[in-house]
Chain A
Amino acid sequence: MKALDRVFEFFASIKLAVIVLLSLVGSLATATILESLYDTPTAQFYVYRSSWFQGILALLGVNIFFVAVSRYPWKPKHIPFLLAHLGILTLLVGSFVTSRIGLDASLRVSEGETVSVVETDQAALVLSEKESAYSFPVRWLPPGVDFKPMTLKAQGVPYELRIDRFISRADPVYEFIPSETVKNGKAALKLRLTGGPMQITQDFWLWAGDASFSSLQAGPSRLAMVSVAELKTAVAAKAGGKPLLLVARSPDPAGLYYKAFASDGKVTQGFLPDSKVEGTALQPGWKMVKLTLEKWIPDAVPKTSYVPSKSQFGPQVPSSAIHVVAGKGGEGSEVWLGLGDRAMLGFAGRTLDVGYFPQRLVLPFSVKLERFNIERYEGTANPASYESRVSVVGGDRPIETTISMNEPLEYKGITLYQASYEDAKPRPTTSIFSVNRDPGRPAKYIGSLLIVIGAISLFAVKYSGWKKLKTKLIKRKSTA
């Protein structure tokens, strides 16, 4: 019994209170410095969302609870003390409820669109095969923290599937490999450019399969992969006085046609059979630049992988990427997925559809953006205010209303706030809402009210201490 008393005394002690408060001060200060040195997600990972920090908050709650109980039976003089302390406890409970079962997501909708899917800031691996689908949250880790491979079979998936690598801030690296299954006719060519005043060497890929890879600009020169017919009809005017290289894949005779225009109008052209392409240096007569053909794949498919980004901290960092392996891995059964990527994985005779997305949730209604309005300060591009005219579809009753910066829409326990927009010319037409459901809200508001009333009454009562001292002062003066 005595030991129990001592435990109780400890948890109700003012000593514990001061220790907890001081460790809160220390950890909070550290967190803000971390945030300033690195960025918000890093500070959240190491402090605000860490279990030890949650532990300190819990300890604060326990301390307050015990100290309140220790004054039992409560008397009227305890009221201010109880109000302030139970207020803090209520606020803590409310915050806990919010963090556990609250919804905090964002909804992006363009004018004319109707959307009911919201995204949270938690990323997830989503996989589906025929009828069945699974979703696994992938917790974000800051750079420098070891990632423990996740085996999904342990989590109820009937396949051998695992995430073995994770990059916090990842940049994509595009590569091309020969297409094994079908001859797709989409060639890939790796070019090496050496030149410029600094003699910099850089490799570029050209690929016929996608518009973003079929043409590129390197300094003043342009490189493009076109059809044979286009190449043959191209004339110097197309280059417009700037260096231009056109290449085309020919199936018969199998090889590569090239045609290069120099800025002085000189044209160099020729044909290289498949086996002769790699290692050939072209002599287009371009000033200061050397051109070498490094790799030639007549039928190529892209293979994207991710590497840690050069910008690891700050406001403009890229998102994360994961590496997913099915079965024993190998060609076609392992893949890199950046946030927003989707791919097919084949193994053991199955085909899996895998994707790495922000976790998505479906609202019990849809939101249609009728119009987005923005007002700017006179004579400047700085926004003064903005608002969205929306209609809510699929609820019990149709609603049409305006959501603005300080005027949210509340419907079915879910609140939509005007958070941001995507800037565009001539005017922005895509609005971004933050979508919340906060079951902890009543507790937080009641707690806040109690704290303020408690603090005021606590000090008002303490005022009597002053009067005592004053009489003492007067006495001393009169005796002196």
Chain B
Amino acid sequence: MMNLSRRSLSLWAACLLLSSLAHADAQPHRRLSFGEAAKIPLQAGGRVKPLDSFAREAVLFITGSRSFEGWEPLDLVMSWIAQPKDWEDKAFIRIGRDDLRRQLGLDDTRTRFTPKELFSNSSLAQYANGLPQTQLPDPKGAAQKQNPRETELKNVLERLSLFRGIVAGEAWAVVPAKGDTWETLATAGSEGQGIRGAFVDLFKTYIQGDSGAEKFSQVSADARIAVEGRIQNWDDSSRRKIQAEYVYNRTRPYFIAWVFYLIAGLAWVVQRTSVSGGKRLGRLAFVAISVAAASHVFGLALRCYVAGRPPVTNMYESVVWVSLGAVFFAWILYLVQKQTLPLAVASILAVLGLVSADIAPTVLDPGIHPLVPVLRSNYWLTIHVLTITLGYAAFALSYGLANVTLTQYFRRALSRRSLDPEFSVRIAGMNLLTYRAMQFGVVLLAAGTILGGIWADYSWGRFWGWDPKEVWALICLLCYIVILHGRYAGWIGQFSFSAWTVVAFSSVVMAWYGVNFVLGVGLHSYGFSNGGFGVVGTAVGLQLAYVVIVAIVCTRSITRTQAK
């Protein structure tokens, strides 16, 4: 049970309180350099990570945004600790669901609330005492979906308790211990004396604000060295990992990637529609997509190095990976067919993927978390998941290409021009690109699904268990196989082929997103989450509506031309 009542301040917090009596409105510290403080190692969420990552995860979880009101996450967390009084009346703790806000009798129009409001909310306190103890996660990873409002309620309580823990020094374990579990400054005994002293110095300097800017880096480094000095087996490789994670956090490689993908995509679009400057635009696009892909690969490689595993264990990672996969297949098609269309389409797909990974951190959690036992260090599992997601990437590319083809038809029909042979050949060429991408997808998805079976057989003793994720991968495969057979039998013409390719991608969306976020049952629950249903559902609905509209318009235009 969670205790929301205010406990007596710990020794640690008492040290700090003395220095924070000078009460003022907390402001971001623009002139402080957090580079050293960011790299202080601490233990949280089952691994040792830099303070920077801890702060980012905490700020995202508590406020629901990456940088609350322009605060650097680490600055914000340090401010909470050093100036807790200044934050009591600031609304920064997120409650994401309006039904929950109403249930708690809170202002329905706000999404963030002050600690005072929430700590004094009697219904919240009641729920806190009534909640069942959190269950240990199932070792196999099996889970059932929960009521989203209850999940949010649990999250709100956890946000409060995390905030309390951060302020009281109970939530961040910075005192390395002999065993596996590090101590916090609040719980550590005499062995934490040195580190505690270093942190008190750090926060005292922090409170001086910009006037202590020069000293701040020095005391930060002292605190980092004090912690590192007590970690057993701390070596260069551990230090490099912390450094790498810090760089990963700071450089935002996917942001750079999507900006350049956007430039590349736009350049190609303009090149196609304009007459002059084609060569230059083409060159620009190639440079931009190369920079984007390099940054994309760099980000993923860094993440793999930090996490020590391949990047496809949650939704966020798979979105980033699939975006890269689409670009990869577009390069292959470009190299083989010498056509830039796939590259243009893949750039736009990558922008969509990376932007959605970037703007919805509460749905697609960007944190690096430990894995459930069954997913750990398994070669076949890695191959299986990478193969399947690459299959999704190829389908995404075929989906994008088919959409371009559909749009060609649409424009042709709207401009009331006839479908002359030259147009038909162009369409046939584009459809062959789509078909080629689909072939990659079918082979990879079939192989990946079978590899999944082999892996499951090897580690669980069953090849196939009708698990929802397996089943939806199979449904996907069957949908595309139906299209391939229909095409082979001649029932599906050029237009229907692109239309059905677009429609079939909804099965990929279901297998990829829907099973984890909508169905929420089965053994692949390590990726389970909530949210985004409205957006994804609307997107799929709009896409299907577009296909229907294009189909209707084109059929009419064909009958009209025939009547002429």
Contacts and interface: CB of A to CB of B under 8 A. Distances in A.
A408 interface: yes
Given A21-B478, A378-B180, A385-B373, A36 B460 contact: no
B472 interface: yes
A480 B426 CA distance: 14
Contacts of B151: none
A434 interface: yes
Contacts of B422: 476, 480
Contacts of A423: 136
Contact of A35 (B44, B447, B468, B474): B468
A104 interface: yes
Interface string B431-459: 01000100100110011001001100111
A193 interface: no
A445 B374 CA distance: 22
Contacts of B428: 469
A31 B471 contact: yes
A472 B424 CA distance: 12
A24 B181 CA distance: 50
Interface string B479-490: 101100110110
A455 B181 CA distance: 51
Nearest to B515: A32
Interface string A392-421: 000000000000011010000001010111
Interface in A86-131: 95, 98, 104
B444 to A, nearest CB: 10
B51 to A, nearest CB: 15
A332 interface: no
Interface size class of B (residues with CB under 8 A): 35 or more
Contact of B137 (A32, A382, A441): A382
Interface string B133-172: 0001101100011000000000000000000000000000
Contacts of A28: 471-472, 474-475, 478
Given A36-B520, A98-B463, A476-B422, A448 B450 contact: yes
B83 interface: no
A132 B425 CA distance: 80
A449 B39 CA distance: 49
B488 A14 contact: yes
Contacts of B234: none
A194 interface: no
Given A385-B376, A386-B139, A476-B425, A379 B461 contact: no
Contacts of A18: 482, 485-486, 489
A253 interface: no
B139 A444 contact: no
B46 A383 contact: no
A42 to B, nearest CB: 11
A405 B374 contact: yes
A68 to B, nearest CB: 15
Contacts of A445: 454
A379 B46 CA distance: 6
A450 B136 CA distance: 42
A215 interface: no
Interface in B355-394: 370, 372-374, 376, 378
A351 B372 CA distance: 51
Interface in A198-226: none
Nearest to B438: A459
Nearest to A449: B450
Contacts of B486: 18
A379 B522 contact: no
B519 A420 contact: no
A36 B145 contact: yes
A408 B478 contact: no
Contact of B180 (A379, A452, A466): A379
B43 interface: yes
A32 B519 contact: yes
A182 interface: no
A469 B460 contact: no
B443 A408 contact: no
Interface centre among B443, B447, B519 (most CB of A within 10 A): B443
Given A32-B472, A48-B466, A448-B453, A419 B429 contact: no
Contact of B47 (A378, A406, A420, A434): A378
A347 to B, nearest CB: 43
B462 interface: yes
Contacts of B291: none
Contact of A406 (B458, B475, B485, B520): B458
A314 to B, nearest CB: 7
B459 A386 contact: no
A384 B373 contact: yes
Nearest to B479: A25
Contacts of A32: 468, 471-472, 515, 519
B310 to A, nearest CB: 16
B533 interface: no
Given A32-B471, A378-B180, A381-B136, A472 B463 contact: no
B182 interface: yes
A292 interface: no
Nearest to B338: A470
Interface in A458-478: 459, 462, 465-466, 469, 472-473, 476
23 contacts: A22-B482, A25-B482, A29-B475, A32-B471, A36-B519, A95-B464, A379-B46, A384-B370, A384-B373, A384-B376, A385-B373, A417-B461, A434-B461, A435-B461, A436-B462, A445-B454, A448-B450, A448-B454, A451-B446, A452-B446, A459-B442, A462-B439, A476-B422
The 5 closest A-B pairs by CB, nearest first: A377-B46, A436-B461, A36-B519, A459-B439, A378-B180
Given A379-B173, A406-B459, A476-B422, 19 more contacts: A21-B481, A29-B475, A35-B521, A95-B464, A315-B144, A378-B48, A379-B43, A379-B182, A382-B136, A382-B137, A405-B373, A415-B461, A421-B139, A434-B461, A435-B461, A441-B463, A448-B450, A451-B446, A469-B432
